[in-house]
Chains A and B, each alone.
Chain A
């Protein structure tokens, strides 16, 4: 026993046994030899990163892990230690500022996480202990505790259901926040547990925690006095998951099996890791290049210095003796410090201020998202939310969009749209418009304006009222109606303006929202389902009579049959079978002559994105019924192959029916969902739908969102297709994968990644569908060699499809998919959008995570990078904001490197003329102020306000997004261009002034200029050129741009006068005293400044001329022709804001 305890304490491995044993209520059990309270983790959820104690060291460590911060730290230390030409303050102060600001920001964020954790952990729950109810904090729940949960509460940990207040030992939960399914699921108590929980003596043996939400295996041993212990098997139907909500059940009791970070929800939650944008990676790459330039500059200078000094008389001429200390220093040490000194002298090439500016740009820039009134949703009275500003520009780089379905693409709100009875279409318009609320909108031409017979109508409506498993929720008082979420959802979003009659305020509970919609639909047409009372279904018909039907059998829905039936007996004694199901499963079972009339409607409805169901019925003769009844009873009792046997009977009964009609139910899409998806695809993004929902539902949503279109060929890789072949799944999978690969990848003409379907209409479009089970087979194939092969096949297929649908996904699988795409070749930028807790892991996994402020709680929003109220806002967020942010920051980064290159290059060149002595060319004030004051504001204003293309144009032309795809502005080519430009400018500045100074007598009084005048002239040219270069690049001149650009230049002039106008008492050297004023008194200096500025800008102006043909109009043309489909009238009517190349040239020449 001691050893066991030791093992438990010491061995991590020992605890990794496959199962855990839980003592219900912590009661020792007679069978076990000794009761050892096992140690499990407590029920605390921890998402925070720091504590008060480790914040400072941990945060500093993390900050200095950034290459830039570390570099600046080193430079700062060098300046402190070694005698360097510039003061340590010049780099120490900005570094300190950056570090402090970042630390405060991160500390605040972590404090928020602490608060959120506490909210969850301190939530009060009821625990039953020795028969008493104890209110305690959620974090104190231990494994084995019996917890009581009331209606509409969420479960505080994973529980095994022991007792329910419902009579039938079931309870209903909704797992909307876990997997996105908002319907009610039924869970069962463990059979044979005693009603009296106090006396229950049992242990539970179950597997160790694992993240799969739908799997659970366990055993419960129940010990009763004087009896053999009973063993009951436990499955997922007994397990209530943390995060799910109890519905329609007053209260339940359950025993905690997994707590805290071991719950399935927590295991599906991934820690929020620091996301880095692609731009930041580019910055780091550029940084390395500049670091190399810097080091090589310093090396060149150091080497040349010692070469130069080796000539006699150069090292220490009589006029410039060394100090004693310098003479005493070891040669190699001196070389090293010289090297460091050069590093410090040139270190401005990698400016701290760039990081400050980038941070500021991101932080301030993100306000434009929060401020955007287009993101404001009047319904929830909120606008967009920015959780991290680090990823603004990533919004302009998205290549893959992973979207959740429920609550994101759809409102998860089914609505009965129309039905077709006997070939006539009935569309519900308005209750008052026509008698009975019916309205025939169209039908076969020959029967225009006709209606089906009344009898058929009523039969159809009865079928709708009877053929379902909906339960009526006892209507609460009218006042309470609002509190009921489901009812609210169903009724509140009914037809706008419709006044609800009291009897319509009826809550329906069903495992599928479609059924509710159908019952509701029937209700609108006068047939109201009143409920099930002791096996009798009550219907209130059009004449307000109550009809009673005895419910004989329910032939349950299952995804393979794709239909369900009920057998009822009417008052008149007729036995009727009503069946509803997917068209493909109904049509073969009805008389073929009935099919054609309805098929047309069904197909039209399906392409409109509605979920269609066909309704059929059959009258059973007494013998038939007797036979069916017997078959069903027998099959239900079968112990082996029960499913198969039931299926056989079902199939036997559901034959020879007659089709009475079809229904169309709309899973209402989010506003503008289809337009948004179309825009995203137009922008070159690939949209993948990842949902936990059923395939049929998800597929119809995809059609409705126009992700799949009528001509899209669907490649299906689901459990159903795998089982079709009648072979081993593995083989079939392999075969299908190869087949699809051949179709979609090999046979497809090589299309460039960026080309949309609008251009490739001739090509076959493919849509890919996969479900969770198959995905796990693909990803975790038994053969290792196959696994990677499958994976790459799968990826290749997916990448060639216009849209991919993954259904039946567990949250972690969603993240897996995102990860797989993220890590695929080329490292595409991914974006995940979702609204529920089940989307959190994929939101965290993707480069950019977007949360929708939906109805399913706030977890997604909390873990997202950006939160928007509606899906439709995604379009503007990406196409306008993302595009602009990317262009802004890319320009900012390139410009910063450029301006510092041409700032430092003259200083480097000057070393060749000053004996490699680290003499700075510019005064210290200029060195410090250059990046902070003289050139920082224009680029900051640019990077906040620039709209090189205005927002309306960006929104109208989704293809513009592709021009910046794949980090186009921060690739090596543009970087090379900027670098060459910087070098060119630097050379020009230095040598221009160098040749001017070949005769330093530049004033008309014959007086000469010294080295500080030299530096000041170079610096003046530099500041003006760099600022005017930005002015040339600015396409959007607001008053702010004017103010900062001209203001900066004016400030430079003013500062130079001021700085040179006073003998500063705190300065050791008055280097710049009247240097600037004297410079301005020299005509030559003026002339050289003007010449150099103009010459520097010449290449840019030239480039503009050559580049121009791609004017905004030229870009618009192909877009408009390619859009093809219905054009928004706005875009064509909108006046063109810019003149074109040809317009312009015609006016001039």
Chain B
């Protein structure tokens, strides 16, 4: 910015001849009401007086243009190189493999409904592949929903565990017992299970290993969310006297019985869900497919099968469920917006610079010629 401004430094000197006499006189025996002759009080603080002129702004336009356009191109290319595959498995259409599961959904059913969605990857996915689930028309940012949680309960506070915050209403207690974790967010935890199978050309399928760690913010996992009872491994005991959220099939201490570091409140799927999305259409990180040590792509092109354990109803609010596979670059997931925006702004600046230069040049000439007869 400094380069954009023509500056002239104007250090106003205090007029010394005035000050010396008065200020010393004032300090003397007679207390004079004469105002102090300080630069501040006399509004004479030395000041830098920048003036934005066409002359300084014009090069700035060119500089912005020259910087932004390459950045934008870089961003655009990067975004385009990211591979992304998205498949809707809501089962809203009759043709959809999950149609039956969606149609016959009931909260009370004890058996889970499974459906398999086949899909084909045209291009191989290199490097780590991130598997997201996406929901549409799901208002995680609704105020009533956003505030319906108790962070101190989730932080392992024992008194909040037994006496959840009022914000959790109407998911605060169930049958007289406090709900852990309480609130609408926790209650609506996404509980579809997604599994991915690679269909070999011979028809056999191999399960693709899905890593369920590293999907939540590190600070959330290690600081913000804590199980009650500290490092005590017996979660069942720690959660005694509480009940599971009404829509859950199993209590919180059974979210991942196989891994005590991913169970209870510090279950990463749970933590990811608890970070409420900004918009009604959102995606959340579900699993990570680690790249293979050898040179083979993480997900070679070919046929795949998505095995869904269909537990999560979205039909009632016209929602959609998606599974997204994406690679990631340094700028995150695929999003051409930034690249386009940078290119546009850079071009506009450059263009403006050119236009202004022409206008300015003409104006300047006219100005000079007008000055002469004066």
Chain A positions near chain B (C-beta within 8 angstroms): 85, 313-314, 317-324, 367-368, 370-373, 375-376, 378, 381-383, 913-915, 917-920, 945, 947, 950-951, 992, 994-1015, 1028, 1031-1032, 1034-1041, 1063, 1067-1070, 1073-1074, 1077-1078, 1082-1084, 1087-1088, 1091, 1094-1095, 1098, 1101-1102, 1104-1105, 1108-1109, 1111, 1137-1139, 1141-1142, 1144-1149
Contacts and interface: CB of A to CB of B under 8 A. Distances in A.
A368 B41 contact: yes
B170 A1006 contact: no
Q: Which of B34, B140, B220, B278 has the most CB of A within 10 A?
A: B278
A1039 B48 CA distance: 9
Contacts of A1014: 278-279
Given A323-B169, A1001-B132, A1001-B332, A1010 B276 contact: yes
Contacts of B174: none
B232 interface: no
A320 B217 contact: no
B335 A996 contact: yes
Given A996-B337, A1037-B48, A372 B332 contact: no
B142 interface: yes
Nearest to B139: A915
Contact of A381 (B32, B56, B220, B330): B32
Interface in B148-171: 148-152, 155, 165, 167, 169-171
B198 interface: no
Interface string B320-363: 00000010111111110110011001000100100011001101
A323 B183 CA distance: 11
B47 A1105 contact: no
A1041 B171 CA distance: 52
16 contacts: A372-B35, A372-B43, A383-B34, A919-B141, A1000-B282, A1001-B285, A1002-B333, A1009-B278, A1011-B277, A1038-B46, A1074-B219, A1101-B52, A1138-B49, A1142-B364, A1145-B54, A1149-B361
B64 interface: yes
A871 to B, nearest CB: 19
A1069 B168 CA distance: 12
B318 interface: yes
B294 interface: no
Contact of A1068 (B71, B151, B285): B151
B280 A323 contact: no
Contacts of B224: 1063, 1070, 1073-1074
Given A319-B138, A320-B145, A1069-B151, A1148 B56 contact: yes
B275 interface: yes
Interface string B191-234: 00000000000000000000000111101100110000000000
A1073 B349 CA distance: 38
B283 A1000 contact: yes
A997 B331 contact: no
Contacts of A947: 43, 47
Contacts of A1082: 332
Nearest to A1103: B52
Contacts of B341: 992, 995, 1088, 1091
B141 A1105 contact: no
A373 B42 CA distance: 7
A371 B35 contact: yes
Nearest to A1006: B130
B34 A997 contact: no
A925 to B, nearest CB: 15
Contact of B35 (A313, A370, A1011, A1015): A370
B12 to A, nearest CB: 8
Nearest to A341: B143
A322 B170 contact: yes
B152 A1068 contact: yes
Given A314-B317, A382-B33, A945-B45, A1083 B52 contact: no
Q: Which of B43, B184, B217 has the most CB of A within 10 A?
A: B43
Interface in B120-139: 128, 130, 132, 138-139
B332 A1137 contact: no
Contacts, number: 316
A1145 B364 contact: yes
A319 B155 contact: no
Contact of B285 (A323, A1008, A1036): A1008
Closest 4 CB pairs of A and B: A319-B188, A1001-B333, A1014-B278, A1006-B130
A1005 B214 contact: yes
A1102 B352 contact: yes
Contacts of B49: 950, 1035-1037, 1137-1138
Contact of B142 (A324, A917, A1005): A917
Contacts of B171: 321
A1094 B71 contact: no
A679 B251 CA distance: 85
A1101 B57 contact: yes
Contact of B332 (A324, A999, A1144, A1146): A999
A1077 to B, nearest CB: 8
Interface residues of B, number: 114
B71 A371 contact: no
A189 B245 CA distance: 103
Interface stretch (B3-11, B92-100, B108-116, B258-266): B3-11
B58 A1148 contact: yes
Contacts of B345: 1091, 1094-1095
A374 B6 CA distance: 32
A1146 B367 CA distance: 12
B179 interface: no
B328 A995 contact: no
B55 to A, nearest CB: 4
Contacts of B311: none
B142 A914 contact: yes
Contacts of A999: 283, 332-335
Q: Which of B282, B330, B371 has the most CB of A within 10 A?
A: B282
Contacts of A1073: 219-220, 223-224
B283 A1008 contact: yes
A1114 to B, nearest CB: 9
B140 A1148 contact: no
A1014 B284 CA distance: 15
B184 A320 contact: yes
A373 to B, nearest CB: 5
A320 B143 CA distance: 10
A1070 B331 contact: no
B54 A1105 contact: yes
B291 interface: no
Contacts of A1108: 52-54
A945 B42 CA distance: 11
B357 to A, nearest CB: 8
A1009 B335 CA distance: 14
B87 interface: no
B143 A919 contact: yes
Contacts of B329: 1004
A950 B10 contact: yes
A1003 B332 contact: yes
A917 B141 CA distance: 9
Contact of A1104 (B22, B52, B279, B283): B52
B47 A1063 contact: no
Contacts of A1083: 330-332
B368 A1142 contact: yes
Given A381-B32, A999-B283, A1137-B49, A1011 B146 contact: yes
A997 to B, nearest CB: 5
